[in-house]
Amino acid sequence: MSETSSEEMDNVGWVFYSEREEWKDVKPILQEEGSQPIVAIAYSAKFKDVYDYLRACLYNNEFSERTLELTKDALILNAANYTVWQYRRMILQHLDKNHLEKELLFSKSMIVDHQKNYQVWHHRMVIIQWLNDAGNELNFVSQMLSEDPKNYHAWQYRQWILSTFKLYDNELQYTSQLLEDDIRNNSAWNHRYFIINHTTDFAESAVLKEISFTLNAIEKATKNESPWNYLRGLLIHTSNGILDPQVIQFCEKHYSQGNRSPHLLAYLIDVAYEKGESHPHKPETGELLNRAIRMCNDLITTHDKIRQNYWKYISYMLEDKLRNNKLIKCDSNIVLEI
């Protein structure tokens, strides 16, 4: 099908603004592209018609029912046009509040059609601000996330709703369900951290409970990076930090069982380095550092080749710590240098 015939089909039933009796009082303003544009954009006749009248209304500062309808047509043609969205909000401010509830229906239809468009989400946020009522927004966002669990704009909007209207009560349970459905949903892990931060301020009891939750999640997929990152974020708020006994025991158990997840190895390497800082002259520290060097070699050659330069650097840092701590490497044991 040719472009011309496609455009003709799109215009079936459409009455151009230039042919509408109620718009005869408006002189459209054409887009100025210069006498010899380098690359002229091939706008459709419908697009030109709508935007020519839109420019005229903007110029005349008209805020009316008909301009509200005009912006709707303009946004259907180009949902990413920030100026049109802003103009539409200005029109809504000049009209009565009854239009705002209807506007939620329009914004919903636009979000459904343009889920990754920042402008549509921002517009809905402003309308909700004006209404000062979260209504059924969390359910609406849940529907959108069920279609695309990693929609950044939807997550950003959800967090704005939660923090603005203090609707945290069931949110941790919501993330638990999302992670039950997909343990690798990194967006849900990020959101869970947001919730813990805003509801517990990382109180020790809450953090310990979350650590247990996270270790159970890691059990299901030890190579999944998201819960490991989440775990690291939790440990920042504990007194032991990365040297948390529960986590070390968990990692040592899996390592002894032959698990060679890059994230597991990376954690044990960091534990060795940290013990090299806190207990530098203990023989067992030397053993840990040497084992960590071997882990780096395993990552370089087998388990994380793509970051081999990084692990070479970490291996060098571990060897340097061995030297600085006055520990030397033997075939099987580490002894203090005399």
By annotation, the residues acting in catalysis are: 116
H-run or E-run covering 328:
strand 327-329
Residue 246 CB partners (closer than 8 Å, separation 6+):
211, 212, 215
CA angle (96 as vertex; 92, 97 as ends), nearest 5: 80
Task: Decide if 50 contacts 70 (C-beta within 8 A).
Answer: yes
Residue 74 CB partners (closer than 8 Å, separation 6+):
50, 51, 54, 81, 84
Residue 178 CB partners (closer than 8 Å, separation 6+):
145, 149, 185, 188
In Å, what is the CA distance from 295 to each residue of 259, 264, 268, 331?
A: 12, 10, 9, 16
